Every structure is written in structure tokens, then in C-alpha cells.
Amino acid sequence: MKIVDSNKIRSDVAKLITECLITPDRAVTNALRRIDTDSELEAAAAALIVENNDIAERERAYCCQDTGQAVFFVKLGDGVQCVGLRDALDDAVRQAYAAARKSVADPLTRLNTRDNTPAVIETELVSGDTLEITYLAKGAGSENMSKLYMLTPADGVDGIVRSVVDAVERGGRNACPPLVVGVGIGGVTETACTLSKRALLRPVGVLNERADVAQLEKLLLAKINALGIGVAALGGRVTALAVNIEVAPTHIGMLPVAVNLQCHSLRHGTVKY
């Protein structure tokens, strides 16, 4: 049994959160730096986002004021013991968000929890003796535009394409484009939702290993960029930088499709033990 010290996790994860909130995924900034567009407004918006990300890094300021709800994907090896892991993650959130925005409230009273806890923790049990913790900051602007479609097997691939394009057409303008579009297909409702969010973690430009899924990713990216929403929703050709699809087997009578829209402030990072 490998023992991992939760005190170390607390301090590592707090540092990870702060760094992620300052510097978004460099693939996004790089894509905006070399944007190919014939719209002056879209080019100007892209330049402002690049300038923003440069200022954030130079001044060590948060790149976006919506520092989000803290989401953790924990891959816990069955040979690992980590006493106090749950509390360590919440403590790391408390510590890192002391200087960031506290954006978590009771859903009914709307009273703020005042320390950005509780963290959202998704745990996946895996074989082996490694512990991997991935942090994702999820802001409301993009998360609010996410959707779940419970299709039928008869809807097929056409139905999937219609649903994903529909989600972006309806919500993309509010979700701070250019987007990374996460799509989860299959399983039961929560499988599809979880997969759609995990899909955001795959590096921009890396296609799914399954050829048919990769094909669908390319098709959807073209269709989404043909919508003309553009950077900052000011009109243009770069509405999304990537469509990442993850799939899981589902029931013979179901075809769940979840679409998670991610804004250009893609803030994530991983620590491994």
C-alpha cells in the first residue's frame, strides 16, 4: 500500500489552483495569436484576449474574474492510501481562493459559502498505486450554456450532430468564445455529463483515438465554425478551437448526448503522486 501525505496534496493543489487561475491553457492563447480571420472586429477581439492573457501572466492577475467553482477529477489507484484527501482538497480551495472570487452559493437562499467550498470532486477508481488530481476552474458563463440531450438510437449520428450544433447555436454567444466544446456520448445521464466535462481536458488539437469519433469531431468543428459566432461573439469564423468527444457504451434503448461548453479561459492542471 502506497501512502500519500494529504498535507502535501493540500499545499501542492493550492499552488496549482493559483497558477491555473492566472495562466489559461497556452494552446488557446497561441491559437488566438495566430488567428486567421477576415473580420477586423474578430481580429481585434482576439488581440484583446491575447493582451489580457499577457497582462495576467506579467502582473500575476487572474485572467478571468470568474475564478469558478473548483472541479477535481481524482484518479485514485486501489493501492493508494491517502487519509484526509477530501478535506485536503477543500482546504486547498479555501487557501487558494482567499485571494480569488468566492463564487459558490446555496442554490435556494443564494447565500455565499464565502470560501468557494465545497469543491466538486469526481473520483475514478483505477488499478495501481498512483494518485492523480486534475483541477478545472468552471465559470458560470460557459457552464450555464451546457446541455443534455436524451436521444433515441433512431436519432443516430445525425441526431448527435444536430444536438451539438444546437447547443452551440443557442448558448455559444454567452459562453465566451472561442470555445472548446466537450461532448459526452453514451452511458447514463451522468456518464454523458461527466464525459463531456472530462473531454475538455484533452489537449486542443488532439483527436479521439477512435477513427469514427475523430471524424465526427472534425465534422462538428467545421459545422460550429460555420455558425459565424466568432471570437467574443462579435461575428467571425473562430467560434470553437476544438470539439472533443468521449464515448461510453450505453443502454440498447438510449443515446444520451451531453454538451459542455468551455470558454477560452480554459484553466486546468494536474498533480501526480
Residues at the site binding other proteins, with contacts judged by CB under 8 A:
41, 44-45, 47-49, 51-53, 55-56, 59, 61-67, 99-103, 110, 112, 114, 140-141, 144, 173-176, 232-235, 263-265
* Cα–Cα dist 147/197, whole Å: 11
CA gap 143, 266 in Å, rounded: 12
Smallest gap from Cβ 92 to other proteins, in A, equals 18
Q: Which residue has the cell 469519433?
A: 213
In angstroms, what is the C-alpha Rg of the chain? 19
Please report how close the Cβ of residue 174 comes to other proteins at its closest, in angstroms: 4
CB 32 → other proteins: shortest distance, Å? 11
* H or E stretch covering 53: helix 40-59
Our CB check for other proteins shows the closer of 112 and 152 to be 112
C-beta closer to other proteins: residue 77 or 139? 139
Helical (H) or strand (E) element with 72 = strand 69-77
Residue number with CB closer to other proteins (148 or 233) = 233
Contact 46, 32 (CB under 8 A): yes
Give 33 or 101: the residue with its C-beta nearer to other proteins.
101
Question: Least distance to other proteins from the beta carbon of 262, Å?
Answer: 11
- State in angstroms the smallest separation of the CB of 47 from other proteins: 8
* Residues 145-161: b if buried by 16+ CB within 10 A, e if exposed: bbbbbebeeebeeebbb
- Residue 115 or 132 with smaller CB distance to other proteins: 115
